[in-house]
């Protein structure tokens, strides 16, 4: 079965129209495909290199280079905790430890049920609201242990 369906192909061609060459459209296309699939697996990238007429390893290198792109499976909820200076001053390190305990995983790992992945992030440009975290696309501010309890529950229920 094709990993990139007809609708997605159409969208890719639409994105291509915005840019002067295929390589310039690569990042926007990778973001699009990631939104569709949660991560960029090799099969998707293989098909993409056919569409774009580009080298597989090159595409993979680009995808692996950027923090916002993922070439490995991640949980339904990808949690990124800022541990830069301002958030550390507000206690973000303890928060990371708390989440590690609660999810029984280490930073960089995904919980066994596949629901959560935990990462740290460099400054998220939300330093006045530390500790700041991002869950998928959404920012959460002034996070406490209680918020984490609630967050993991509500996202659980989904």
Partner 1 sequence: MESYLLKNINLPDLKLLKTALDFGAYNGFLKCLDSYSPKDVVEEIEASGLRGRGGGWYSTGQKWNSLKRVKNKPAYFCCNCSEGEPGSFKDRLIIEKNPHLLLEGVAIASYALGVNTAYICVRGEFTEATEILKKSLTDAKAKKLLGKNIHNTGYDLKIIIFRTGGNYICGEETALLNSLEGWPATPREKPPYPAEAGLYGCPTIINNVETVSNIPYIINNGVDWFSAIGCRECPGNMLFSISGHVKKPGVYEIPIGSFTLREIIDQFAGGPNNGHSIKAVIPGGGSSGFLSQKELDITMNPDSLKKIGSSFGTGSIIVMGDQADIVKMTRKLAKFFRDESCKNECEICKKGSIELTYHLLQIEKGEGKSENLSKIHKTIESMKDGGICAMPQTASSVIKSALQRFPHEFNNKIANKVS
Site residues, partner 1 (CB under 8 A): 18-28, 31, 61-62, 65-69, 83-86, 88-90, 121-130, 134, 137, 139
Q: Which is nearer to ligand FES, 49 or 123 (CB)?
A: 123
Place of tokens 């989440």: 99
Picking from 80, 88, 94, 84, the residue whose alpha carbon sits closest to that of residue 134 is 80
Q: Is 135 in the site for ligand FES (CB under 6 A)?
A: no
> Which residue in the set 16, 26, 78, 82 belongs to the binding site for ligand FES (CB under 6 A)?
82
Min separation Cβ 134 and ligand FES, Å: 9
DSSP conformation class of 53:
T
Among ligand FES, partner 1, none, the one that 27 touches (CB under a kind-dependent 5 to 8 A) is partner 1
Q: Kind of pairing, strands 77-82 and 138-140?
A: unpaired
Q: Which is nearer to ligand FES, 75 or 130 (CB)?
A: 130
Residue pair 120/70 in contact (Cβ under 8 Å)? The answer is: no
Q: Is 95 in the site for ligand FES (CB under 6 A)?
A: no
Min separation Cβ 146 and partner 1, Å: 21
DSSP H helices, the chain, are 6-18, 26-37, 42-52, 56-65, 85-89, 92-103, 145-157
Q: Which is nearer to ligand FES, 112 or 142 (CB)?
A: 142
Buried b / exposed e over 113-146, threshold 16 CB at 10 Å, is eeebbbbbbeebebbebbbbbbbeeeebeebeee
Among partner 1, ligand FES, none, the one that 151 touches (CB under a kind-dependent 5 to 8 A) is none
Contact set with ligand FES (CB under 6 A): 82, 84-87, 123-127, 130, 132
């Amino acid at each position: 079965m094709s990993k990139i369906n007809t609708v997605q192909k159409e969208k890719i061609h639409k994105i291509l129209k915005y840019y002067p060459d295929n390589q310039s459209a690569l990042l926007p296309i990778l973001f699009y495909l990631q939104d569709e699939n949660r991560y960029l697996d090799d099969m998707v990238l293989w098909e993409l290199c056919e569409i774009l007429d580009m080298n597989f390893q090159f595409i993979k290198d680009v995808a692996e280079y950027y923090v916002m792109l993922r070439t490995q499976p991640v949980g339904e909820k990808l949690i990124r905790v800022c541990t830069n200076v301002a958030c550390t001053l507000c206690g973000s390190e303890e928060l990371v430890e708390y989440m590690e305990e609660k999810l029984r995983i280490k930073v960089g790992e995904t919980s066994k049920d596949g629901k959560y992945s935990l990462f740290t992030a460099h400054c998220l440009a939300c330093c006045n609201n530390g500790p700041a975290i991002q869950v998928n696309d959404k920012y959460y501010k002034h996070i406490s242990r209680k918020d984490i309890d609630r967050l993991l529950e509500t996202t659980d229920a989904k």
